[in-house]
A and B are shown apart, each in its own frame.
Chain A
Amino acid sequence: SILLILSQCSVNSSVFTQEIMKWNGWGYSDSRFLFNKKGQAEFTGKRYRLSGMILPSLKDWFEGTFGASLQHKSPATVSAIYIYFFNAVQPPTLNEAFVEDLKSVGIPFSHDAEDRVFRAHGHCLHEIFALREGKVGRVPDLVVWPNCHNDVVKIVELACKHSVCLIPYGGGTSVSSALECPPEETRSIVSLDTSQMNRILWIDEKNLTAHVEAGIIGQDLERLLNENGYCTGHEPDSMEFSSLGGWVATRASGMKKNIYGNIEDLVVHIKMVTPRGVIEKSCLGPRMSTGPDIHHFIMGSEGTLGVVTEVTMKIRPMPEYQKYGSVVFPNFEQGVACLREVARQRCAPASIRLMDNEQFQFGHALKPQVSSIFTSFLDGLKKFYITKFKGFDPHHLCVATLLFEGNREKVLQHEKQVYDIAAKFGGLAAGEDNGQRGYMLTFVIAYLRDLGMDYYVIGESFETSVPWDRVLDICRNVKERIIRECKERGVQFPPLSTCRVTQTYDAGACVYFYFAFNYRGLSDPVHVYERVEHAAREEILANGGSLSHHHGVGKLRKEWMRETLSNVGMGMLKSVKDYVDPNNIFGNRNLL
């Protein structure tokens, strides 16, 4: 069916990204964790460093941490076939006039159930959980694939003309319920998929900028620039799947922001199509004093004002040299103190992340089977040195992972500076390998959630930013709040409640919390999960943390916006929305 409609149009093959992606889980279909017949964990596929490897300690960690058991399985209850062919999905409410006009301007579209369901969700736990159970709520009625800025202009015009609700869709990696269709929406909902707008339009080597269509996916952008010897350096954890437009719309942050900056530092020029017309600045000046920066109305607007179509962004020559590293600290307190000092001296490497003890142990559980006796002997020796000789308590020590970039000489110099600081806080260098594995984990951790869901374990991560002096307090209090809330809400097993500091700033840090629990014995696990996450967010706010560092607000965190921004602040945003989109064409109801 999808082909029937699409065959009329020339659609680039990456429409079919969805065919190599899971429809009810994270990432590529070929890549997943599973417990094999021997009960050993392995990661399938060929895409990642971990792919095809056996992870001998994961099972024990998994069963020990969650009280889970390989005997108790909770596989997804429906196959794709059930959903798509037995009409679980509501038939589309089509705006015929809109569809006709769309046909006449030659923009490809589809109302196939699979296409619609695929674009009806992000990756919040409740969204994935529902899909696994075969539950589908309101989904877009139509998907359109504009090919360029002008296509978007046409679509938005038609949407205004026919009163259709537009929801921009980039990589679909939202974790704020931003892609959920408002159930109360009565108009036809059209998902505007930007995936066809994925070209680099030009590269300006004199000014080190590139002009890129906003639908491009992170890894493609990086790969294409790399071919020309450049990079953006913007590497959010989701970069395999998230899009440039999505980054702009959510104020994204990248792992290596210490060198390259966050999205707001990288962007030079933005073009966005709104119901009022196209908004863009008139020049590419690197900084302007022309009243409030209109880019800041666009960045973080979460699809409520229009569609970002093209972005001019800074590029850098590819780094000559990269080096991973890691440091073990006797405890989390010392680790945080070290990161704070690194930030004070403004000598943070491209990336510096500090995991707490639980994550350290988790990281260990993901160690692949070692190839030689020698490596395992070395590991044992290292462990002996750290715990026995240095006296680190294995239940308190924590690890920081580092990534240095630049020219070789400078990297080595920089590395020494950082390790010297770490030493003052009792930190011991723990090797490149541990560091590299830490970063690899970033990309596979989302796959692990799917494994958990096969065995009654659900979980998610959420983030905040917080002043330095509160980092330790917020970490302790939020983790404890999670544990207590789980207990009070009848969770039968102790949850995994852990955190890490993932970014350093002059005035504070970004903290990530991971939280998962075994839901056996609960009748409504998702509800419990949501209440706990809600409580955790309240705790974050009460401890001086922000509502979000980079995930955005979406619909998940809307309720706290007023207290976050003040009444006047809300009014300002509201009035911008009212001016730009008076008929709420961009009606995803995020943010406000």
Chain B
Amino acid sequence: MAAKPPYSHRDPMLKKRDDFEDILEERRNSSDLRYALKCYTPVVYKGVTPNAASLLKTTVLQSDQLHYVVDQLSKETGVAADVIQEEASAILEEMAHRQQLSTVRFFAFTLSKAFKALFRSIHVNEEGIQRLQQAIQEHPVVLLPSHRSYMDFLLMSYILYTYDLVLPVIAAGMDFMGMKFVGEMLRMSGAFFIRRSFGGDKLYWTVFSEYVKTMLRNGMAPVEFFLEGTRSRTSKSLTPKLGLLNIVMDPFFKGEVFDVSLVPVSISYERILEETLYARELLGVPKPKESTSGLFKARKVLSEDYGSIHVYFGQPVSVRSLAQGKVNRCHFNLMPRHIPRRPSDETQCFVNDSAYSLVRAQEENMVLKPWVLLASLLLQNQSQGLLLDELTEQAVWLRGLSREYGAFLNWPDHMAPSEVVSSSLSLHRDLVKISGGRVQLALGGQAGPRQPCSSPITEEELMNQAVVVLSCTSYRNQALHVFLRPALLASAIHIATSAKKEEVYNSFSFLRNMLSNEFILCPGATLQDFEEACYLLGKTGALQMSQQEMQVTDSGQKTVNFLTAMLDPFLQGYQVVCRYLCEEATEALTEKQFIPAIRTFIVRLILAGSLRYYELLSSDLQKNALAALLRLGAIRKIKVADNVTLKVNRLMVNSLEDTLGGKLPTQKAVAARL
């Protein structure tokens, strides 16, 4: 990593971002039908293989890669090669897209209608589109949108169609295919379907990766997939999945293409369509199986106002430049390239780092609405709520802070802050209530004015309230990436035993490591993150640093309190998980039982009044905590018959809990292990 430049204190406020343009505006003023039937002649990749589309399947089925694996499997299993080849053919049939312009036009028409009904506007940065257009001509392109809604990929194709760009082929989860009619429609609009898990299935993997690589090599269309693998239910970015990224980089590593352009795309919704759906899912109401009828039931959403969408096409990233000095392509010189090989450690590390920086690029260009700030403030003042004036005043303060930290905030500066606040509140009226000038989260009806929100009595009541809280957190979470590093530092100062820089760094490093399943924290960038956090806190005057010590200033107390409060639910959550594992978990606790069990435990604590954060009920947080403990070796998985049980190292879990709570200093030993 010697090539990595040291963190430069580039002021995040100076980040240059493009302007937006509303693509719905034209739709409201001209015929959708004419738009759907418009002349569509996108520019294509300069190296496009003629007839690539029609030859796609044949190319895949006749590829050396597939032949090799088929032969291997045939030798291993004794099944005749042509039988396996048939199987491959069937897999490809199940997977392949059948993009056709008529379906695209159908979508262009219906989506125009739907989008106009649902959204006030769809903002797109046109310069990004221009960059994309350029990139498409020069190299194969991979589109990497963030994933917050089912809407995402239809929206992407819709935008590309609008701007006369080549429509992407999209990697979609198999669950869509369950929706009979819709599945086929999506296929015809350019989706191809992959099974959710095919871990050991070599044949499937080969067909799949060859399919994607062939499309990329031929350069017929951009390949689109979601780095996060699935929709984020929490609006936090998810730890990137590496499989597909590995596949699309491979043709570059092997010299089959000169370069590949990766284009991160940030899609931000002012109001997420699946808002409460997600909250329920996180609380343990299982996700409804995607079905066509379910989608039609969702029609009632059409009558609601979902505000605006911002889609930001980021700077195309050249894999060649990324890999410069990090990946030795000679690695592939000594073996035929069609023989499958595990990527080298160096390559894996590179792909992983790239994935993180791409997700961060998505995060950076996510547009934040004022409501995101309001939600953060309201969550921190759950019990009392805030007077409307107070809320406005705090929001203005937070606006300043978030801009200092480089947030891409879409705050209408021409409006009076109070107006901005009330219009935001009104768009999210399901989540807040205003009574007697006091703004609170809408947690059940009985809480009167000036009265603290009454504690829930039954589990059902609790769950209903938790739905509102979790919905709200999904908005706060949109801003987390802005505050995360300073918040980690603020919390580190809080739990560190002294103000010594070294101690604080140890605590910071501990917290960062502990929470690295929770947030996007690039592996190996602890020092860089620490310096960034110091810089940001120092810049806003919240922190005073000498050579040895770091001290929160009086004026910075407010900032630091806000930041610590932002992270506190997570720290509490991890402690509760630790406590559960130490105190309640039996030897026979299985992996499957973990989530229900911990949920019951937390419900009990909340009902007993000893825990105040409802968001701890989020299975996302619980899973992340478990994953972190597994990663740190505090828990081990043991396979017993068909079950996986969790073996808890109580001593270690206990000490982690205490360290998180600031009761135990961040031991060197612990820090070293992490």
CB within 8 Å of A: which of B152-168?
none
What residues of chain B lie closer than 8 Å to A544, measured between beta carbons?
255, 330, 332-333
Is there an interface contact between B330 and A542, defined as CB atoms closer than 8 Å?
yes
B-contact bits for A410-450, CB 8 A (1 contact / 0 none): 00000000000000000000000000000000000000000
What residues of chain A lie closer than 8 Å to B47, measured between beta carbons?
476
CB within 8 Å of A: which of B317-361?
328-330, 332-333, 336-337
What does DSSP make chain A's interface, helix, strand, loop or mixed?
A: helix
A120 vs B258: C-alpha distance when bound (angstroms): 39
Q: Which residue of B lies closest to A473 (CB)?
A: B255
Is there an interface contact between A474 and B255, defined as CB atoms closer than 8 Å?
yes
Is there an interface contact between B255 and A480, defined as CB atoms closer than 8 Å?
no
B256 at the A interface (CB under 8 A): yes
A319 vs B254: C-alpha distance when bound (angstroms): 44
A469 vs B255: C-alpha distance when bound (angstroms): 11
A473 vs B333: C-alpha distance when bound (angstroms): 13
CB within 8 Å of B: which of A363-408?
none
> Which of B256, B328, B330 makes the CB contact (< 8 A) with A473?
B256
A477 at the B interface (CB under 8 A): yes
What residues of chain B lie closer than 8 Å to A542, measured between beta carbons?
255, 328-330
What residues of chain B lie closer than 8 Å to A473, measured between beta carbons?
254-256
Q: Which residue of B lies closest to A544 (CB)?
A: B333
CB within 8 Å of A: which of B390-437?
none
Q: Which residue of A lies closest to B334 (CB)?
A: A544
What residues of chain A lie closer than 8 Å to B258, measured between beta carbons?
476-477, 480-481
A339 at the B interface (CB under 8 A): no
Q: Which residue of A lies closest to B327 (CB)?
A: A542
Q: How far is the CB of B140 from chain A (nearest CB, A)?
A: 13
A480 vs B320: C-alpha distance when bound (angstroms): 12
A276 at the B interface (CB under 8 A): no
A249 at the B interface (CB under 8 A): no
What residues of chain B lie closer than 8 Å to A474, measured between beta carbons?
255
What residues of chain B lie closer than 8 Å to A470, measured between beta carbons?
255, 337
B-contact bits for A265-290, CB 8 A (1 contact / 0 none): 00000000000000000000000000
Is there an interface contact between B336 and A469, defined as CB atoms closer than 8 Å?
yes
* Given A470-B255, A473-B255, A543 contacting B329 (CB threshold 8 A): yes
What residues of chain A lie closer than 8 Å to B328, measured between beta carbons?
542
A541 at the B interface (CB under 8 A): yes
What residues of chain A lie closer than 8 Å to B332, measured between beta carbons?
544
What residues of chain B lie closer than 8 Å to A469, measured between beta carbons?
336-337
A470 vs B330: C-alpha distance when bound (angstroms): 12
What residues of chain A lie closer than 8 Å to B254, measured between beta carbons?
473
What residues of chain B lie closer than 8 Å to A477, measured between beta carbons?
255, 258
A480 vs B258: C-alpha distance when bound (angstroms): 7
Q: How far is the CB of B272 from chain A (nearest CB, A)?
A: 42
Q: How far is the CB of B590 from chain A (nearest CB, A)?
A: 49
CB within 8 Å of B: which of A466-505?
469-470, 473-474, 476-477, 480-481
A474 vs B332: C-alpha distance when bound (angstroms): 13
A477 vs B47: C-alpha distance when bound (angstroms): 12
What residues of chain A lie closer than 8 Å to B255, measured between beta carbons?
470, 473-474, 477, 542-544
A473 vs B336: C-alpha distance when bound (angstroms): 13
From B254, B255, B256, residue with most partner A Cβ within 10 Å: B255
Interface residue tally on A, bucketed by range: 10 to 19
A-contact bits for B252-269, CB 8 A (1 contact / 0 none): 001110100000000000
> Which of A476, A480, A481, A541 makes the CB contact (< 8 A) with B330?
A541
A354 vs B468: C-alpha distance when bound (angstroms): 70
A542 vs B333: C-alpha distance when bound (angstroms): 8
Q: Which residue of A lies closest to B256 (CB)?
A: A473
A477 vs B256: C-alpha distance when bound (angstroms): 8
What residues of chain B lie closer than 8 Å to A480, measured between beta carbons?
258
A261 vs B226: C-alpha distance when bound (angstroms): 55
Q: Which residue of B lies closest to A477 (CB)?
A: B258
CB within 8 Å of B: which of A525-553?
541-544
Q: Which residue of A lies closest to B258 (CB)?
A: A480
Q: Which residue of A lies closest to B259 (CB)?
A: A480
Q: How far is the CB of B296 from chain A (nearest CB, A)?
A: 49
Q: Which residue of B lies closest to A483 (CB)?
A: B258
Q: How far is the CB of B251 from chain A (nearest CB, A)?
A: 10
From B258, B328, B332, B336, residue with most partner A Cβ within 10 Å: B258
A477 vs B258: C-alpha distance when bound (angstroms): 5
CB within 8 Å of B: which of A543-579?
543-544, 563
A508 vs B332: C-alpha distance when bound (angstroms): 16
A571 vs B332: C-alpha distance when bound (angstroms): 25
Q: How far is the CB of B350 from chain A (nearest CB, A)?
A: 14
What residues of chain B lie closer than 8 Å to A563, measured between beta carbons?
330
Q: Which residue of B lies closest to A472 (CB)?
A: B256
Q: How far is the CB of B26 from chain A (nearest CB, A)?
A: 36
A470 vs B335: C-alpha distance when bound (angstroms): 12
Q: How far is the CB of B335 from chain A (nearest CB, A)?
A: 10
A-contact bits for B40-82, CB 8 A (1 contact / 0 none): 0000000100000000000000000000000000000000000
From A470, A541, A542, residue with most partner B Cβ within 10 Å: A542
Q: Which residue of B lies closest to A476 (CB)?
A: B258
What residues of chain A lie closer than 8 Å to B333, measured between beta carbons?
544
A476 vs B252: C-alpha distance when bound (angstroms): 12
Q: How far is the CB of B62 from chain A (nearest CB, A)?
A: 14
Q: How far is the CB of B318 from chain A (nearest CB, A)?
A: 10
A563 vs B331: C-alpha distance when bound (angstroms): 12
A476 vs B255: C-alpha distance when bound (angstroms): 9
Q: How far is the CB of B59 from chain A (nearest CB, A)?
A: 13
B-contact bits for A10-52, CB 8 A (1 contact / 0 none): 0000000000000000000000000000000000000000000
A240 vs B333: C-alpha distance when bound (angstroms): 36
Q: How far is the CB of A567 from chain B (nearest CB, A)?
A: 15
A476 vs B258: C-alpha distance when bound (angstroms): 7
Q: How far is the CB of A469 from chain B (nearest CB, A)?
A: 7
Q: Which residue of A lies closest to B337 (CB)?
A: A469
Q: Which residue of A lies closest to B254 (CB)?
A: A473
Q: How far is the CB of B520 from chain A (nearest CB, A)?
A: 31
A542 vs B337: C-alpha distance when bound (angstroms): 13
A503 vs B337: C-alpha distance when bound (angstroms): 23
A476 vs B329: C-alpha distance when bound (angstroms): 16
Q: How far is the CB of A487 from chain B (nearest CB, A)?
A: 12
A473 vs B47: C-alpha distance when bound (angstroms): 12
A544 vs B330: C-alpha distance when bound (angstroms): 6
Q: How far is the CB of B100 from chain A (nearest CB, A)?
A: 27
A533 vs B337: C-alpha distance when bound (angstroms): 26
Q: How far is the CB of B422 from chain A (nearest CB, A)?
A: 53
Q: Which residue of B lies closest to A480 (CB)?
A: B258
Q: Which residue of B lies closest to A542 (CB)?
A: B329
A543 vs B328: C-alpha distance when bound (angstroms): 10
What residues of chain A lie closer than 8 Å to B337, measured between beta carbons?
469-470
B-contact bits for A116-132, CB 8 A (1 contact / 0 none): 00000000000000000
Q: Which residue of A lies closest to B47 (CB)?
A: A476
What residues of chain A lie closer than 8 Å to B329, measured between beta carbons?
542-543
A543 vs B331: C-alpha distance when bound (angstroms): 10
A434 vs B336: C-alpha distance when bound (angstroms): 36
Q: Which residue of A lies closest to B251 (CB)?
A: A473
A543 vs B255: C-alpha distance when bound (angstroms): 6
Q: How far is the CB of A507 from chain B (nearest CB, A)?
A: 12
A542 vs B320: C-alpha distance when bound (angstroms): 12
Q: How far is the CB of B260 from chain A (nearest CB, A)?
A: 13
* Interface CB pairs A-B, < 8 A, 15: A469-B337, A473-B254, A474-B255, A476-B47, A477-B255, A477-B258, A480-B258, A541-B330, A542-B255, A542-B328, A543-B255, A543-B329, A544-B330, A544-B333, A563-B330
Measured CB to CB, the residues of A under 8 A from B are 469-470, 473-474, 476-477, 480-481, 541-544, 563
Enumerate the 9 nearest inter-chain pairs by beta-carbon distance, A residue then B residue, closest first: A542-B329, A543-B255, A544-B333, A473-B255, A480-B258, A477-B258, A477-B255, A473-B256, A542-B330
Question: With A542-B255, A542-B328, A544-B332 given, can you name 19 additional A-B contacts, CB distance below 8 Å?
Answer: A469-B336, A469-B337, A470-B255, A470-B337, A473-B254, A473-B255, A473-B256, A474-B255, A476-B47, A477-B255, A480-B258, A481-B258, A541-B330, A542-B330, A543-B329, A544-B255, A544-B330, A544-B333, A563-B330
